Structure formats: C-alpha cells, structure tokens
Amino acid sequence: MSLRSSRWSARRSCGVAAPLVAEQFGIEPLERRDLLTADIGVEFNNFNVPSTLVPGDRFVAGIVLTNNGPMNAAGQISIQFYLSTDVTLSSDDLLCGSFPNQQIPGVFGVGEELLFSDNFTVPTSATPGNYFLLARIIPSASVADNNQSNNVVASDNFFPLEIKFGNIPGRGNAILQLTDPEGTTVQFQLLDGGVGTVTRDSGGRFVVDITGSGANSRLGIATSGGDGIADIAQIVIAGSMQSIAAVNTRLLGSLSLTGTLATLTLGAIGGTASEVSITIGQAGVNTVISLGAVTNASITTPGAIQSLAVASWTDTNASPTDLISAQWLGTLASTGNFGASLRLSGRTGGPTLGSATIGQSITGGTWGVIGRGGSIQIRTSVAKWSASFTQALESLTSTRTLRGTIAAKNFLSINVGLDLLGAKILAGANLGDDAKLGGAGDAADRFAFGRIDSLTVARRVKGVIVGAGLDPVNGVLNDGDDRIKQPAKSRIGAVTIGATMAPAARIVAGRFTGAVSVNGNSINPANDARFRVRDLVSPAAVLVSVDTGAVPSLITVRFTDNQAVLRSSIGDGDIRIDAPDGLFSMVVELVSVSRPGNGSPIVATYRFSPPDGTWDPADHGTYTVVLLAGAVMDTSGNAVNGGNALTLGTFDIPA
C-alpha cells in the first residue's frame, strides 16, 4: 500500500518548526484502556539527498510506515520532514516538507507497510552547517496510535549545507535560493564552470564571490515574490565570464572581474547615496552591456564595449565617477537622460564611437574620443556638456535645442531641429585629455584647420560660436583676438538658418563654399559681421631694414595680423621720414609687396631719395621712420597702433 492520493496538493513552503508540545506528540496521561490499539512506526525507506546541500535544494525522501498492531488502523496521518543539527527533534529545527492529513487507503492491517515519498525543499533561511534529515508522523485520533516513541526517525549520517552555488563539492551547477529582507526569493545559478559564495552585508544585501570561472561560464540571478528586486552589495569574480544576467537586481556597490566578460545584463545601478563601479580586468572580448536606470556609476574596461544600452544615466553629485572608459564603443543608447563622461582610447579600422542615441537630454559629462565618431542623435543637451573627437564626426543631430561644446577635426553634417543656443562648435579643435576648453599639459587645447560640410538650424541661432579652423589664441573665444588657422583649408559648406541669427552670434571660417541663408534670405558672408571673426586686434608693423647705400634708398616693413592685413591699405605715403633737425620730412613711395592679396604677414618695400639727391656729410644725423596714422589696416578695419602714428625706428647718416 502507498500513501499517494493527496500528497501533492498538500505540499507547503519550508520554515522553522513550531514549538513541540505534548498535544502534538499525542502524549496523554496514562489511563486504563479496555480497547486494543494500533502501533504505527516510521523508518526511512530511501532518500536522494545531494552530498552537499544548499538553500533552495529540492530532493526526494521516502519513508515506510509499519503497523506493529495489535489492531488494524484507519484514518489520516500527517507527515513532516526536518533538517536538524542533531538526531533529536526540537523547536529550532528547519521544517522542509509538510504533508498534512494523508488518508490511509483502506484498512492498515497489522504487519502491513505503507510507502510514502515526495519532494522537499531546503529552506532559504538555512545557515551553513551539518544537518541530519528527520521524518515525523502524526497519526490522527481515529488511527488510535498507542506508541509515539517510534513516530520520529533520523538519518544515519549528516549532510553538509553551504551557501554556495555552481560547482560545489560533490555536484555541479548547484542552484542557490535565498530570501532578502523584503521577502524576495533570490536564485543564484552558475553554469559551465566556477563556484559562487553568497554572504550578506550589514544591511542584508548580497555579496557574491565567484572563483574558478572561465570564458564559457554564465551567472544568473533571478527573483520571485517580495518586491521582485534583489539588492546586490558587491560581485567579485576571480576569472572570466561569458554572461552575467541579473535584470531584477539593484547593484549598489562594485562588480569586478579579473578576466573578460562577453555580456552583462543588470537592472538598476547605484543610487544617490552610493557610487557604483563595474570593472572588467582584461581585453580580448567586446562586451555587450544592458543596464536599467544608472545613478553615480562608472564602467572601466581595457577592451572594447560592443554596445551599451541604459534606461537612463544620472550624475547627482557631478563627480568624475560617472565615467565610461574603454578602447571603443560601438553603440551607445539611452532611453532617457544621459549624464556620464566617455573616455575612448581609440580603434583601428573603424569609428571609436560608432553611434550614440540619447532619447532625452545629455545632462552633462565630457566625451573624450581619440579617433572618429559616427552619428550622434539626441533630443537636447545642456551647456555644460562637452565633447572632443580627434578625427571627424559623421553627423550631429538634435531634434530640439543644441547646447554645449563640441569639437572635431571635421563635421560632415550638423542638424538642429529647433534652436542652436549658447553652443560652441569647433572644427579643427582638439580639447585635450579633459575634453573641455582650457587646460594645461595633457589637457591643453590644440587648434588646426578644419571643416564643416553643412550646418542646418530650423529656428534660432543665439549666443553661438561655430568655427572652422578657429583659434582663440589666448584660450578665450570671441574676445577680439581669435584667428583662423590656414584659411584656405578651413571651410564651411552650406549654412541654413530657418529663422533669426543674433548679431553677436558667430559662424566663421577661412572661406564659405556653399550657400548661406538666414530666415530665407541669401547672405554674403564677406559682408556680414556675423560670419567674420570678431577682430579687435590691430595689425603690427616692424621696421625690417633701411638701405641707404643706394639712391633712391629702400625701407622694408613687415606687417602682421591675427586675421589678415588688408593689402589695399598698403601704398604710397604710408611712411614718413623725419630729418634730424626736424626742419623737413620725406614721404616714401611703395615699391613692392610680398603677396598680392590679403593675408599675414605682408612685407612692403618703400623707396625715398635724399634731400639733394645724394647722401653727403651735410646730411649726417639720425633720421626717424614713422608709420602715419591710419595708414595700414587689417581686413576687419583695425589700423596699426589703433590708428595712431607709430615710430618704427631710426637710421643714421655718418658725417
């Protein structure tokens, strides 16, 4: 006979045994009994228990019930299984299986045996130690069991229990189940190599240590019940990993591997009161990372990140910890805001940043990219965002307002869906290791020629500096001393501004190679100050030489400017030569210039004749060479010496 009809429907969750009382054991005061009763005993029949137990284990145990007589029995028997640190049932033993009111099929005759077997589960609250397996039967009153001394049986040997998973002693791929303070059941699984140990910090959060894992190992953390989220204080992996899948977790500390990692999937990362780090120890595998909402975190790998997808990334403390550091990043995607910095060290044969798609706003951070970029698509950005690409950026698109500082060797296209406000877009600039304007040493900015193939803004342009080859000279843009590096190579193609462009805004280049329009009107950049470098610096003039060995004599002057000297401003009458006694002056005549058009420098040669046609002793003395007021200007209309006369130097005629 076998008790099988109702056990499955009667299974219960594991827990701690209730205190044992006399009534539960059926112990009654002795009294005279005129009726004969049955004597039901229990022994283990078989059980399939792993050599090492972990919380959450399920295994089969079987018992045999014997009616030792002298009477037949009928009715119900409740059956319980426990884990105990000794062979005596007590109130602190762990209840692992409870099967109440199992109906005896028919009549349980004297000398007959009933077999019972079922699964039971190691409680998730179990602590490490050595445990015996106990079985207990509780016959109902109708069974009339007259001897309770044989109602409990213990296993002959104990079983070690550890808070581990994976390849633990005597078994592989063990699954561990624990319960967190919120009542969530958390399952830990490690496949294809390695063993994991779980402890808890002072707040009850899980600390996971894994050793012996390899490139094919897979870590999974799953949840059920409670709030559905497991708080992870730390994950430390001494080895590599194929994948880590823990989507219903909240990582509040660090995750580190000494080896490589192919795939990482986590839930929320960090919080306002914590800073989280994810560190991959070795290169060689391009990692795919998917995260939930990230707050105050960093990701560091010596290798590449194939893709990084986050729900959002928030930097609440504006600290440098919100940093993603890798060789290159194939695709970056954020559904919400994104506020982390990037440090990408370079890639051979492809873009260092393949693409970035930000569903909402770039809320801060600095993007330092050694190499070229693919496409950046965002909704909007803030002024404190800064990005620097040492090579070309394929496209920059904002569906609404674009702010911030963006530098690249070249921009193929820039498209703004609404307004371009307070932005600095610099083609040809490299903003150094800090990816920000300003700095010294490795963080120093470098400026060279560059180009922007097209710029389109749907509405307004205000407070903006867009430059191709623009060099601020002193580190401050648009303060009047900026200049264009190699103007012939620094160019901007088509420029389309759908509405207004503020008078103080600047879009500048050495030359414009495409059509320029503002609010539907065609613009000639050469005649519009908004498309010229703001220039408040006067050109300089230096006396190079005076040759009095010939008649007429020659004077050579070198003119320079931060932008370009206006060639047409150089001519006859620029120079005056004052005699020693001040009684007369000589006006010079232009002979030649070193270049035909505007530029810097321009070297001009002038000629003049002595008072009486030759230099003789009567002409001895010191003569003064003066550049006349307003004589020579730059292309912005600034005259040498602020428009005042300038003494260039002197020369002597001997007696």
The tokens of 616 are what?
């003789």
Q: Which residues contact 421 (CB under 8 A, 6 or more apart)?
A: 401, 402, 403, 460, 461, 462, 463, 464
295-315, pLDDT tens digit by residue? 999 999 999 999 999 999 999
80-132, pLDDT tens digit by residue? 999 999 999 999 999 999 999 999 988 999 999 999 999 889 999 999 999 99
Distance CA 467, CA 486 (A): 13
Dihedral over alpha carbons 166, 167, 168, 172 (to 10 degrees):
100
Which uninterrupted H or E stretch holds 25? Answer: helix 22-25
- Lowest-confidence pick of 486-495, 582-591, 628-637: 582-591
Domains of the chain: 8-161 (2.60.40.10), 163-327 (no CATH), 382-531 (no CATH), 540-653 (2.60.40)
> How many helices (DSSP H) and strands (DSSP E) are in the chain?
1, 54
User: What pLDDT is attached to residue 66?
Assistant: 95
Closest-CA residue to 213 (of 234, 190, 189, 240): 240
Local confidence band at 587 (pLDDT 50, 70, 90 cut-offs): confident
- For residue 637, which amino acid is it? G
575-584, pLDDT tens digit by residue? 999 999 877 7
- Lowest-confidence pick of 109-123, 282-296, 405-419: 109-123
Distance CA 133, CA 47 (A): 10
Q: Three-state SS for 155?
A: coil
User: What pLDDT is attached to residue 537?
Assistant: 87
Local confidence band at 18 (pLDDT 50, 70, 90 cut-offs): very low
> Is the model's pLDDT at 8 over the cut of 80?
no
Closest-CA residue to 313 (of 289, 294, 332): 294
User: What pLDDT is attached to residue 419?
Assistant: 98
User: What pLDDT is attached to residue 32?
Assistant: 41
CB 233 within 8 Å of CB 269: no
Mean pLDDT value across the chain = 91
Could you tell me where the DSSP H helices lie in 214-369? none
491-517, pLDDT tens digit by residue? 999 999 999 999 999 999 999 999 999
> Is the model's pLDDT at 7 over the cut of 50?
no
CB 50 within 8 Å of CB 91: no
Closest-CA residue to 405 (of 391, 419, 421): 421
User: What pLDDT is attached to residue 320?
Assistant: 65
Pairing mode of beta strands 195-200, 185-191: unpaired
Enumerate the β-bridge partners of residue 466. 425, 507
User: What pLDDT is attached to residue 231?
Assistant: 96
CB 420 within 8 Å of CB 464: yes
Environment class of 19 (CB within 10 Å of its CB; exposed 0-12, middle 13-18, buried 19+) = exposed
- Lowest-confidence pick of 34-43, 81-90, 246-255, 583-592: 34-43
CB 631 within 8 Å of CB 572: no
> Is the model's pLDDT at 19 over the cut of 70?
no
Closest-CA residue to 502 (of 458, 534, 461): 461
User: What pLDDT is attached to residue 35?
Assistant: 52
User: What pLDDT is attached to residue 591?
Assistant: 96
User: What pLDDT is attached to residue 380?
Assistant: 98
Environment class of 489 (CB within 10 Å of its CB; exposed 0-12, middle 13-18, buried 19+) = middle
Distance set, CA 546 to CA 576, 581, 607, 648 (Å): 13, 20, 10, 11
pTM of the model: 0.82
Distance CA 194, CA 244 (A): 13
CB 323 within 8 Å of CB 297: no
> Is the model's pLDDT at 186 over the cut of 60?
yes
Distance set, CA 243 to CA 262, 268, 309 (Å): 6, 17, 16
Distance CA 210, CA 190 (A): 9
Arithmetic mean of pLDDT, 252-265? 97
Q: What is the DSSP-derived secondary structure letter of residue 106?
A: S
Q: Three-state SS for 574?
A: coil
Distance CA 483, CA 533 (A): 7
Local confidence band at 265 (pLDDT 50, 70, 90 cut-offs): very high
User: What pLDDT is attached to residue 344?
Assistant: 98
Distance CA 42, CA 115 (A): 10
CB 188 within 8 Å of CB 221: yes
User: What pLDDT is attached to residue 235?
Assistant: 98
CB 334 within 8 Å of CB 359: yes
317-360, pLDDT tens digit by residue? 766 679 999 999 999 999 999 999 999 999 999 999 999 999 99
- For residue 254, which amino acid is it? S
- For the residues of 605-645, what is the DSSP string, one character each? EEEE--TTSS--GGG-EEEEEEEPTT-SBBTTSPBGGGGS-
Which uninterrupted H or E stretch holds 214? Answer: none
Arithmetic mean of pLDDT, 179-190? 95
Dihedral over alpha carbons 240, 278, 209, 234 (to 10 degrees):
-170
> Is the model's pLDDT at 476 over the cut of 60?
yes
Distance CA 278, CA 301 (A): 8
349-391, pLDDT tens digit by residue? 999 999 999 999 999 999 999 999 999 999 999 999 999 999 9
**Backbone phi and psi for residue 325, each to the nearest 5 degrees, phi listed first:** -120, 125
Q: Which residues contact 563 (CB under 8 A, 6 or more apart)?
A: 483, 484, 533, 535, 537, 600, 634, 635, 636
